[in-house]
Amino acid sequence: MLAKPNKSVFQGRVRAIRSEEDGWGANIDLVVTKNESPILERDFLRPAPGSVVTVFAANPAKIQVGESLRVHANLTAGPFGGRAVAESLTRV
């Protein structure tokens, strides 16, 4: 579930891709190059240039280490924690 309506938009370079143990999806580490979030009050991730943000992607098959991406993500949370989930990943 969403913690509260939120959305982060940023550009970053893929540093690492780690497949999930069950084989569905992967966690992608991105080095942030630019925060493009349209509404800062709804940007729960607050990706700062130079920081590393990890997002879960359901279909990362065509993503490669070193690529630059524009990421639309949101923070999901529940009683046992939360994680950033990519809504879309676009090459830039």
Confidence tier at 3 by pLDDT (50, 70, 90): low
- Name 78's Cβ contacts closer than 8 Å, sequence gap at least 6: 1
Tokens of 38: 């349209």
Residue 75's CB is within 10 A of a number of other CB atoms, namely 18
- pTM value is 0.90
Confidence tier at 8 by pLDDT (50, 70, 90): very high
Confidence tier at 83 by pLDDT (50, 70, 90): very high
In the chain, % of residues over pLDDT 90: 77
User: Which contiguous run of DSSP H or E holds residue 11?
Assistant: strand 8-19
Fold of 8-91: OB fold (Dihydrolipoamide Acetyltransferase, E2P) (2.40.50)
